Amino acid sequence: MIVVTGVLHTSVSWLAALAYAGLALGHARMGVGPRRGLALGAWLLHALALVMMWLQPEPRLGFAVAISITVWLATTVYAVEVRLLPELRVHWALALLGAAAVLLAWWFPGKPHTSLSTFLSPMHSALGFASYALLGMAALHGWQMQRAERAMRHAQPTSGDLPLLALERLTFRFLHLGFALLSATLVVGIGFSESLFGVAWRADHKTVLSVLGWLVFAALIVGRAWLGWRGKVAMRLLYGGFTLLLLGYIGSRFVIEVLLQR
């Protein structure tokens, strides 16, 4: 078994954060080739830092590691988008999130992760991280869409990479995909809870806030299909649902690990 030292993991984490930061701060002055090369380097270093965390003598999965995994998955999705849609550029906001996520996971790794006998545990985690990433991408594209719409309203040059309608389509495609995975996460979570605790439903903060987030997303999808919800109403629901999800798992884990130190 390969064992990774803390010094090596620290070095890789800081290199990844510096690469992300350099991309965020210097992307406007870089050509397409150097920009994408630096983005690829940051993405690979980020992945290596996550792998190293699981190769340490005591693997950890705290709230910050969950953020780091989610952001890495989101950057992976965005990288595929950039390949499929050449008009898109490497986004500075995502690069800043990457830098912050890597350093946060290095600083707050959490307690040692205990492997559970049921296969539902890793499935639940994988589906959850994937749904967070896709819904986060929906929120990012929604923010880009609002910026483009504001610029058009004030007759200003747009900084967006895609037309407004294309951004809107991408936003809701990611919403639909993320909602499907979130639904699967909740279903698997019921089986996981039954096998581990003997009950299908535990009324804790994580469960309640996650279900509330699911209901908000469901209302947004139905409201858009039947009532034509768009613009500010749709974006407020999108941001609200995503905030509930973040508070549900990451927020509750932050309180337990950092504030209560359990």
**17-44 pLDDT, tens digit each:** 999 999 888 877 877 778 888 889 999 9
Q: What is the 3-state secondary structure (H, E, C) of the chain?
A: CCCCCHHHHHHHHHHHHHHHHHHHHHHHHCCHHHHHHHHHHHHHHHHHHHHHHHHCCCCECCHHHHHHHHHHHHHHHHHHHHHHCCCCCCCHHHHHHHHHHHHHHHHCCCCECCCCCCCHHHHHHHHHHHHHHHHHHHHHHHHHHHHHHHHHHCCCCCCCCCCHHHHHHHHHHHHHHHHHHHHHHHHHHHHHHHHHHCCCCCCCHHHHHHHHHHHHHHHHHHHHHHHCCCHHHHHHHHHHHHHHHHHHHHHHHHHHHHHCCC
> Which of 101-105, 126-130, 189-193, 213-217 has the lowest average pLDDT?
189-193
- The rounded distance, in Å, linking the Cα atoms of 196 and 250 is 21
With cut-offs at 50, 70 and 90, classify the pLDDT of residue 230. confident
Partners of residue 60 on adjacent β-strands: 112
Per-residue confidence (pLDDT) for residue 130, from 0 to 100 = 95
Per-residue confidence (pLDDT) for residue 220, from 0 to 100 = 96
Task: Name the more confident of 184 and 90.
Answer: 184
Each residue's pLDDT tens digit, 132-156: 999 999 999 998 888 888 777 766 6
Half-sphere exposure of 67 (CA within 13 A, CB side): 26
Contact 105, 56 (CB under 8 A): no
Q: Work out the percent of the chain whose per-residue pLDDT is above 90.
A: 41
| Summary mean pLDDT of the chain | 84
- The rounded distance, in Å, linking the Cα atoms of 118 and 5 is 29
Task: Name the more confident of 248 and 184.
Answer: 184
With cut-offs at 50, 70 and 90, classify the pLDDT of residue 105. very high
Predicted structure pTM score: 0.87
